[in-house]
A and B are shown apart, each in its own frame.
Chain A
Amino acid sequence: MKVSKGEIFERVFLNEPDIDLHIVQEAGSRVKIHVINLPGDARDSRTSRNSITIEQLGEGCTTELYGLAYVRGDEKVETETHVLHSVGGGESKQLFKFVLADRAQGGFYGELRIAKDAQKTRTEQVNRNLLLSREAQMRTRPQLEIYADDVQASHGATTGQLDESALFYMQQRGISRTDAYRMLVAAFLKDVLDTLSDTHQREELMDAIDRVVE
């Protein structure tokens, strides 16, 4: 699909399996996409594979890609993004967070390419992951190819566990371990949820996350 000159495309994909998007952006257009995977009631072993490709073909485009996945049981969520800056003065921002419980598996592959003529491009790609069990697995692979010399490009990928000292601190104040877990997971995901334009949806998702954390 194409987002025409100066237009805005905004979409929240909530629990949609196997997203496959290819978007071409014309000059000055804006794209904002959220990919959200929360567990359903059925504990099956489904796999979601999402692929998003963005090509900034016109000058001064902005792209925002956000991902939030809470994966449990034997589920698997893999997301790949391809962001291609062909011309200068564009911006892209990516923030993907995975929370993996039980034996869940997550994958993030982020390809970012800044072409030789795409000067003054500004990009940021962040992938942060939280493992709630020893058996959960996360694979993360950022891939940056930068051919222009006057750009700002930052990226970071981290995978960690819940802070045991914070859990104990909260328990020492009378908060149950389960509630402490919930609060810390919500805190971890907060910055992604904060990017949702629809505040009503933001609150619904916060409640939904509260319900799934055990």
Chain B
Amino acid sequence: MKPLLEIKDLHATIAGKEILRGVNLVINPGEVHAIMGPNGAGKSTLSAVLTGHPAYEVTRGEVYLRGKNLLEMQPEQRAREGVFLSFQYPVEIPGVSMTNFMRTAVNEKRKYEEKEPLSARDFLKLMKEKRALLEIGDKLQNRSVNEGFSGGEKKKNEIFQMAMLEPCLSILDETDSGLDIDALRIVAEGVNRLKTPENASIMITHYQRLLDYIVPDLVHVLADGQIVKTGDKTLALELEEKGYEGL
């Protein structure tokens, strides 16, 4: 099987400070990986580097998505290739409606894939269908992107966008933080239903809690910029019990 994502010896810095110090990771289609680790280990840096955040500089290493060099691409091209980040802190964009935002995003991706843009009717139908998946009301589409959304609404909105864009690689950065148990269940069910044999996801999380709902194939522990341990789902339980110091 050809890997979906290959990360080789990835080093990255922010403002001259080295955060990632040689990350190696292979993700195959159909897999769910969890990345756990203490604060400051580099978990969010990894998601920022994979999506091309301009504040981070890659100083060494390579990343391939379906064999294509990801690090050479602009953030928007990575997104169109199918990399999706569910933000830890989704950004509010006053004055830009969810509908306009989402229609632009969906049609940019279709253009990249040399498909015709969706008609207004088909687009609204798609929005409705995907909203139902996340139990989001129809008020959302007239509102500005994330503006005035509660913490739970923001996270649901991230997974809603993921459902609209059908990425091949989803990175869920602390998606469980700030969610009550009902919102967590809805978000997790959404993610589970979007799973196919062709796509994969990376869940970045502090806690075992999310992994009760979305069961990972592999769990990695990131510490001090490197993956120091990899195991199956029982590793997460072990970490919950013993803490990161117990490794």
Contacts and interface: CB of A to CB of B under 8 A. Distances in A.
Given A171-B76, A174-B108, A188 B165 contact: no
B196 interface: no
Interface stretch (A12-20, A56-64, A176-184): A176-184
A165 B53 CA distance: 10
Contacts of A170: 93, 101, 105
Interface of A: 163-166, 168-177, 179, 183-184, 186-188, 190-191
Given A169-B93, A171-B79, 6 more contacts: A171-B74, A172-B75, A173-B79, A183-B96, A184-B96, A187-B144
A177 B79 CA distance: 12
B94 A172 contact: no
A181 B82 CA distance: 22
B22 interface: no
Nearest to A179: B104
Contact of B91 (A166, A179, A190): A166
Among A165, A168, A179, A191, the one with the most B-chain Cβ atoms within 10 Å of its Cβ is: A168
A171 B84 CA distance: 11
Interface of chain A: mostly helix, strand, loop or mixed: helix
A173 B146 CA distance: 14
Given A168-B53, A168-B54, A169-B91, A175 B105 contact: yes
Interface string B140-152: 0000110000000
B3 to A, nearest CB: 22
Contact of A172 (B51, B100, B109): B51
B244 interface: no
B165 A173 contact: yes
25 contacts: A163-B93, A168-B53, A168-B91, A169-B87, A170-B101, A171-B74, A171-B75, A171-B76, A172-B51, A172-B75, A172-B84, A172-B85, A173-B79, A174-B76, A174-B79, A174-B80, A174-B105, A174-B112, A174-B165, A175-B76, A176-B108, A179-B104, A179-B108, A186-B95, A191-B95
Contacts of B30: none
A27 to B, nearest CB: 37
B101 A168 contact: no
Nearest to B77: A174
B95 A188 contact: yes
B90 interface: yes
Contacts of B112: 174
B76 A176 contact: yes
A174 B103 CA distance: 11
B74 A177 contact: yes
A187 B95 contact: yes
Nearest to A174: B79
Interface in B84-123: 84-85, 87, 90-96, 100-101, 104-105, 108-109, 112
A202 to B, nearest CB: 15
Nearest to B102: A173
Contacts of B75: 168, 171-172
A188 B94 CA distance: 8
Contacts of A163: 91, 93
A175 B104 contact: yes
B175 interface: no
A173 B53 contact: no
A103 B34 CA distance: 48
A184 B104 CA distance: 13
Contacts of B45: none
A132 B165 CA distance: 30
B199 interface: no
B108 A183 contact: no
A1 B141 CA distance: 46
B161 interface: yes
B171 to A, nearest CB: 10
A204 B88 CA distance: 38
A158 to B, nearest CB: 13
